[in-house]
Amino acid sequence: MKKGFTLIELLIVIAVLGILAVAVLSAINPIEQIN
């Protein structure tokens, strides 16, 4: 196995972090989600 991330793995990690960030923000700010 190579060290480091391949491009596909990096894209998957970025996508997962983005989804988690949206979930956390919507959980913290339910008022903005209503608007």
What is the structure's pLDDT at 29? 78
On whether residue 35 sits in a domain, the answer given is no
On whether residue 7 sits in a domain, the answer given is yes
Write out pLDDT tens, residues 1-35. 667 779 999 999 999 999 999 998 888 877 666 66
What is the structure's pLDDT at 10? 93
Distance, in Å, from the CA atom of 8 to the CA atom of 14, rounded to the nearest integer, reads 10
Q: What is the pTM of this model?
A: 0.58
Domain containing 4 equals: 1-30
SS (H, E, C) the chain: CCCCCCHHHHHHHHHHHHHHHHHHHHHHCHHHHHC
What is the structure's pLDDT at 21? 93
What is the structure's pLDDT at 35? 62
Q: Which two tokens mark 29? A: 């700010």
On whether residue 13 sits in a domain, the answer given is yes
The CA-atom distances, in angstroms, between 4 and each of 11, 24, 28, 29, 34 are 13, 28, 33, 35, 41
How many domains is the chain partitioned into structurally? 1
What is the structure's pLDDT at 27? 84
